[in-house]
Each structure stands twice: as C-alpha cells, then as structure tokens.
Structure 1
Amino acid sequence: MVPVAPGRLPLLGHTLSLLRRRAAFTADLRSRGEIVKVYLGPVPTYFVTSPRLVHQVLVTDGARFRKGILFERFRPYLGNGLVLSEGAFHRRQRRMVQPAFHRERLARYAGTMVRAAADLTATWRPGEVRVVEHDMQALAVTVVGEALFSAELGRRAIAEIRRSVFDITKDGIVRALSPGVVARLPLPVNRRFDRATERMRGIVLEVIEERRAAGVDRGDLLSTLLLAQDEDSGARMTDRQVYDEVLTLLTAGVETTALALAWVFHELAEHPEAERRVHAEVDEVLAGRPAAFEDLAGLGYLHRVVDEVLRKYPIWLLMRKAVAPVDLGGTVLPPGAEVIVSPHGVHHDPAHYPDPERFDPDRWAPDRAAALPKGAFVPFGGGVRQCVGNAFARTEAVLTLATVAARWRLVPVPGKPVRTKFTTAAYPTGLLMTAVPRG
C-alpha cells in the first residue's frame, strides 16, 4: 500500500507557496516511505524519496519512462529539443549534439569563459556595490551566446538572448504551471513571454540560415549542430531541429550556471574559511596568470565548492511518466503513471548529508563523495536524459570562480540580506555585494 500524502499538490497558485515550504514537504514525504502518492491537481502522482528509487527512475529503468506532464507543458515553447524529445528521435539527436561537448571543444570554450569573466570584472570598481545575480546572468548569457554563435554575426543574436532569455525561462514556468486557459488570456506575463519568444525565434533562425549558407565550421556549438550527420542515415538536422536544440541549450545553460554562480559568491561570503581556501588554491595554481582549461585538475577545492552549491540549490522536481509497467519499491506502476523525482529532496536527506542546510564543501572530499549511494546527487538528472551540457556548466562555474577570486572578494552589503524567489529553483534576489580588490 502506497502512503498517501495529506492534501494535494496543486497547479500554480499554491504551488509557488508550496515551493517555499519544499524542505518541510519533502522531509514529511521521506518519513512516509520511499514512494508516496500525492496529487498534482487532480492527477495522482508517485513521489519517490530515496536515492535508490531516484536512480531506478532516471537510470536503471529510464527506458520505461518518458517526460512527465509538467515537461509537456513546455513543448509548444521549447519545441522538440533534447529536454523534451523522446525515444529514437531523442537518441538520434543526442548522438548528433554530443560532439559539441567533447573535451577538445570544451577546451576551446574555456577560453571564452575566462575572457568573459575577466571582461566582466574589468568593469568593477573598488568599493562598488554589484547586483551579483544580474552580473552572473549577463555573464552566463555571454558565455553560452559566444560558444553558440562565434564571429561578428553572433553579436546581434547574443544581444537578443540577453534581452529575452530570462523572460522565456521565468515566464515559461508560470505558463507551464497554469491551467491551459490562462495562457490565452491577455495578461502581462503572457504578452511578455510571447514577444520574447518571437524575437528569439526570429534572430536565431536568421543566424541559422546565414550560417548554413556559408557552410563553414567556425568551431562553435552552432557549427556542430549544422554539420552533424546521423550515423545511420547520414541526414542532417532541419533548421527547425537546430532551432529547438539552440533554444534548449540557451534556456538550460544560462539559468543553471547563473544561479549556481550567484549562490557560490553568496556562500563564500558567508563562510570566510571556505573563501580563504578558495583564494589560497587559486593563488597557488594560477600564480597570477589567467585561468585555463588545463588548470581544472588542480582546482579541486573549487570543484567542491561548486558541487556543494549544486547540492544545496538544485531544482525542486523532475517528472517522468511510465510507458510500461514498472515495479518501484514494491509498488507496480501502470503505464501512464506520473512520477516525481526531487533533486532537492535527495540532496537534503540527512541520512546522506548530515546537517543538510549547512554549506560544507568538504562533503565532496573523495572518500566522502565515494560513499554516497547512486541517486543521491543528481543536479543534472541522470541516465540517457542527463543534461548534455553538464560538463560545460561545471567548467564554466569553476573557471569563473577562479577568475573572479584571483582578483576580487565580494562582500555582503550590511543590512541588505539576500531574498530568495522560488519557481522550480531558488533564485537569489537583491544579492547586493561590494567588490573589494584582493591585496
């Protein structure tokens, strides 16, 4: 018998207030067992709470699931990119996109990451108050935009991405969580979202058309997508398929990294010993020169800091729908059953992360990290649906942290505590910090 959680998990409205109480909610579900029946509006849903079942849903039995109802709400806006595509088409697209994130390509993108971070910090002035979440958003857009669209033609696209992408991600979540009729109402959030989507579609398709006509590999992500061929048929992606993948990379790549970096600087400012260790490692490894891809192996403590932020501030839930009968923890789910996996829930399970609200990068010391069960750390999902750009995001976060920490400290402004705004993830709002030169 599956325990039934009290109440229901409603769409929109109370959903956002529920997100604010997510820690208590997921802790309550954990106390009821590994799999708990809750309701997403009128829809019965199975919430899995243990790393063991999370790993089963995402990896072991991943082929028995497809994306759930919440993801389907995004399809009209994100198209059929890797986040939403299914089955044979998803496997085909992933094979074609994957080379864009091979090690030699990441090494090339690393130069863009370091240069963009250095250009940002070159605009800072000693004692200046920065809105850190805005800086990190602008930086993430620049990095992903230049990695996607190198050369002069890409500058117009990057400017439009900077203008539109956060309207698409934030307002798109509101639309996905709303009843269908709400999307057709002339509300400001709908008008803003529709205008941003139309602008983005126009500029990206224009760049795709011009780049396809040139037929040259410029070493960027877009060239990889345009020149990729299916290994079986030899076919290339259509312009619409390329557009869907570009929009997926933009929305997923910008938001995740911007949020992680903003929280990194917040946590380091709150934990002086961790900040001291970051500075000591950066000074030793870089010795005053710019960071490079080859330095990643020597920046072990910075990797731990980034992983601890990814643990503490992940997305709240992922959804899957069973396409075949599957036995989850002794409960046989029929085809069509909706399942919720909560990265936040497993990342804050005290059985695996003692004092889970505490920021502790040493959780990721090799011996402690190796002791974690499969499914206990899933910031980028898992299995064949794991985010294809996860190595890109980690590389960007570590190299940006190294570049900033080599020259600057970010100090909280007294009397201005950071506020947190929840959608499916925790957004810092009003993260005001003073830029202080080191030394």
Structure 2
Amino acid sequence: MTVPAAPGRWPFLGHTPALLRQRFAFTSSLHEHGEIVKLYLGPAPAYFVTSPRLSHEVLVTAGAKFRKGAMFDKFRPYLGNGLVLSNGDFHRRQRRLVQPAFHHDRLAGYATTMRRAAAELSGSWQPGEVRLIDEDVQGLAVTIVGEALFSTELGKQAIDEARRSIFVVIQQGMIRALSPKFVEKLPIPGNRRFDEAIARMRAIVLEVIRDWRAQGVDHGDLLSTLLLAGMTDEQAQDEVLTLLTGGIETTALALSWTFHELGRHPEVEARVHAEVDEVLGGRPIAFDDIERLGYVRQVVDEVLRRYPIWLLMRRALEDVDLGGVRVAEGSEVIVSPHALHHDPATYADPDRFDPGRWAPERAARLPKGAFVPFGAGTRQCVGNRFAQNEIVITVATVAARWRLVPVPGRPVRVKFTSAAYPDSLPMTAVPR
C-alpha cells in the first residue's frame, strides 16, 4: 500500500504563535488524506494516524510495540525516568507502585482538599470584581496537586516553587520539544528560564524527599506512598515532578476553558446551576456527589474534547503493520488528540460547544480511540480520575455561588504550545 504524503512539509521549524496555530490547523486537516499519512519532521519521516481505529491500535491494542517518541525525549532533563518517559519493565513496575495513590479511598481523601481549596479561592472574590480566571485556576491547580503530594512545612516551599516554575517548564519545554535540537543550545531567554526552572524544581523536590527520609513518617500524602513503596530518592523525584507537571496543566486549562464556555453559553450555565442546586441543596460538594452531577460531567467532557493536548508521539520498537502500511522499527508515529476530537466524521460540527454529545446514549456510540484527552492503554495518565474529580468539584463549588461573566470589549485570544491556552481570561464575578 502506498502511504499518502502530506502536502508540502510539516511547518516544523520555529515556534511563533502564528506558526503554532498553523500546525494545529495542518494536523487537523490530515484526515482528508487517509488514515495514515507520511510527513517529515525536518529531514526525518514520520507517520501520522488520523482515524480513531488506528489511534486505538497504536495506543492500546498494539501499544506494547511502541515506546514514547522523540517529542518526549526533550523533557528528560526535567522528568528523568518518570512515568511519562519510562518504558518497558521499569515503566510497568513504577506504574504499579504509583497506582495505589489513586485508588478510590485515596481519591475520596483528595476530594476534601479539592473542595476546600476551591471554596477558599471562590470565597476570596468580591461581587463585581474582574478576575483573571486563567491565573486563578493555575494557582488552584498548583495548590491541589501540591497539597496532595506534600503535607510537610518543607513541602509548602516546594508548592511555592511550583507556582513560580512549573508553567515555565511546561510551556518552554514544549517549545523546545517541537524545535530542532540546536535551538536548546542557544543563549536565549526562554532557554535560560527553562534550565533555571528545572534546576530549582529538582533541587527543592529532592530536599523534601531527604527531609522525609530523615523523619521516616507516613504523612498520608502522595510522596509517602511513593517512598514507602520502595522507590529510591531519584525515582521518587522523577515521579513527583511527573505528577506535578501532568496534574497541573490539564486541569488548569480545562477549568479556564470551562468557565469561558459557561460564560459564552448562558443556556448551558443555567443547566449547570440548576443541577448543582438540585444535587447539593446548598451544602458543600461531597465525593459521592461527583457521579450525581451528570450534566456537569458532560460539560467537562466537552471541554476536554475541544481543548486537548496537541500531539502524542510513539516510536516503533519493531516493524509494525498499521492499516496495511509497514512502519519500520524506529519510525515515529504521531497521534493528535486535538485532530481526533475535531474530526467531523466522528463529531458533527466539531467546533461547536455541545455538552449534549456526552449524554450516555450518544457517547456510547463513539468508536474506540475517538476520545483520548488523557491518552489510552497502559500509557494513559495515571491521575486521570484525580484530574476529572478536581474539575467537577471546582466547577460545582464555584457555580453554587457565582456566575463568571465575560468582560465586554476584552476578547479572549488563544496562544498555542502543547495545547490551546487562553492568553488572558478576564471575567466578572457576579453573585448568583
């Protein structure tokens, strides 16, 4: 079978906002050329799979034939050999050690932290005050993940450092991941900020770990779970940084875009408020309420569909047949959650915000591989349920008390790195 080639070459070099936007549009159009499309990352060929069927094969059914791809290698100086980057037997071992931290009873405990933090944030707002909601929810995400990881005084210093450094690492790291190797050697401000943020984060996390070793006390936090499972200091450091990074970006972005979409769609907002009032009856949200907030969860799923990460990359460990195409060992294979989530063959009018897509009877008809906001298979984000619970709890806590109204004359612009970020999201807090 002949693999169709993408028209022209992928706009790979450079990372201006316009060019990043062009990349999103380019990858979203590749389904027009078939289920698997050959393109070039600079001089290197790669295979872009465009259909849910082949995406599911790469991520799940044939997942053992792939390891993480080239894009992820650029994060190794920061994440080391954490779950996002590790492979093979070591990855399976580490995942088994981390998994208990996200069991049902632990998630119930984290829900208390989520509810308190969300209530403290929304309780600090004043009627009629204009808030930069994107900044508010970024700080909230750092607080929640940080407090789940660390419960000691020194841990609070690590949380403060995460507020300072984590988004520098995420955004500059993705720019570096999508640029040629020589770019990371250039003495430019973005590189300096990235390298300095990495050094600060790794240093404070290692200090917290060594302090835990000296005390030897189970604090009931995620760090205690990792160390009591038998991880070395270096392994625990890598996993803590992985959990911090993975646990902050997705939830902060999802919360920003959720409040943005609720502000743009009063009819959706009204349904959310009605459901929150009915289920909670004026009391704070409890862990068991999450499953009862069915429409809120539909809204969250639609946000995760509309605003997912851009790319997942895998490298073939052996020759693989994908849709009748021989992909040679060592080749890069690309899956784009953004492109999958905006394919009109799966989602009618994909640019329209429609939580009704996630009504149970409609969602059940989606093909496997069509909705992958947290990846899939053995490499699915280990904290996906943590993130979803955090988003629902925060939305319900805010919606019980406030409407967040867009500010007239201040349109929300989008900037692109690993995903679509609001450049600034001013909204007015209006009491209900």
Q: TM class by shorter-chain length? A: over 0.9
CA shift, 1:154, in A, is 1.8
CA shift, 1:168, in A, is 1.0
Partner residue in 2 for 1:348: 342
Pick from 262, 275, 293 the counterpart of residue 299 of structure 1: 293
Task: Structure 1: give runs of 5+ residues left out of the alignment.
Answer: 229-235
| 150-159 or 162-171, larger mean C-alpha shift | 150-159
- Residue 218 of structure 1 pairs with residue 219 of structure 2: yes
Q: Deviations over 1:85-118 (max 9, x none)?
A: 0000000000000000001000000000010011
Mapping 1:32-431, distance limit 5 Å: 32-228=33-229, 236-431=230-425
Question: d(CA) in 2 for partners of 1:11 and 1:85?
Answer: 26
Q: Deviations over 1:178-233 (max 9, x none)?
A: 332322222111111122111111211111111122222211111111111xxxxx
Q: Residue 190 of structure 2 aligns to which amino acid in structure 1?
A: V
Q: TM-score, normalised by structure 1?
A: 0.96
1:11 to 1:32, Cα distance in 2 relative to 1, 3 A: closer
Question: d(CA) in 2 for partners of 1:82 and 1:147?
Answer: 18
Does the 8 Å contact 1:12/1:174 carry over to 2? no
Q: Deviations over 1:341-397 (max 9, x none)?
A: 010111011111100000011100001000000000000000000000100000000
1:120 to 1:245, Cα distance in 2 relative to 1, 3 A: same
CA shift, 1:267, in A, is 0.3
Partner SS, residue 353 of structure 1: coil
Question: d(CA) in 2 for partners of 1:177 and 1:28?
Answer: 19
Q: Residue 105 of structure 2 aligns to which amino acid in structure 1?
A: E
1:16 to 1:71, Cα distance in 2 relative to 1, 3 A: farther
| 261-270 or 346-355, larger mean C-alpha shift | 346-355
Q: Residue 144 of structure 2 aligns to which amino acid in structure 1?
A: V
Q: Residue 209 of structure 1 aligns to which amino acid in structure 2?
A: R
Q: Residue 311 of structure 1 aligns to which amino acid in structure 2?
A: R
CA shift, 1:158, in A, is 0.9
Partner residue in 2 for 1:233: none
Does the 8 Å contact 2:17/2:415 carry over to 1? no
Question: d(CA) in 1 for partners of 2:74 and 2:16?
Answer: 15
Question: d(CA) in 1 for partners of 2:155 and 2:276?
Answer: 32
Partner residue in 2 for 1:435: 429
Does the 8 Å contact 2:307/2:338 carry over to 1? yes
| 374-383 or 16-25, larger mean C-alpha shift | 16-25
Question: d(CA) in 2 for partners of 1:297 and 1:202?
Answer: 39
Partner SS, residue 165 of structure 1: helix
CA shift, 1:237, in A, is 1.1
Q: Deviations over 1:105-148 (max 9, x none)?
A: 00000000010011111110000000111001000000000000
Question: d(CA) in 1 for partners of 2:119 and 2:348?
Answer: 37
Partner SS, residue 385 of structure 2: helix
Q: Deviations over 1:244-284 (max 9, x none)?
A: 00001111110110000000000011111110000001001
What root-mean-square deviation, in Å, do the aligned CA atoms of Structure 1 and Structure 2 show?
1.2
Q: Deviations over 1:314-361 (max 9, x none)?
A: 111111010111110110111011111010111011111100000011
Question: d(CA) in 1 for partners of 2:203 and 2:76?
Answer: 18
Does the 8 Å contact 1:144/1:253 carry over to 2? yes
Partner SS, residue 206 of structure 1: helix
Q: TM-score, normalised by structure 2?
A: 0.98
CA shift, 1:39, in A, is 0.7
Question: d(CA) in 2 for partners of 1:152 and 1:288?
Answer: 34
Q: Deviations over 1:154-195 (max 9, x none)?
A: 211111111111111111112222332322222111111122
Question: d(CA) in 1 for partners of 2:16 and 2:33?
Answer: 21
Question: d(CA) in 2 for partners of 1:303 and 1:32?
Answer: 34
Q: Residue 88 of structure 1 aligns to which amino acid in structure 2?
A: D
Q: Residue 35 of structure 1 aligns to which amino acid in structure 2?
A: I
Q: Residue 330 of structure 1 aligns to which amino acid in structure 2?
A: G
Question: d(CA) in 2 for partners of 1:313 and 1:273?
Answer: 21
Does the 8 Å contact 1:315/1:343 carry over to 2? yes
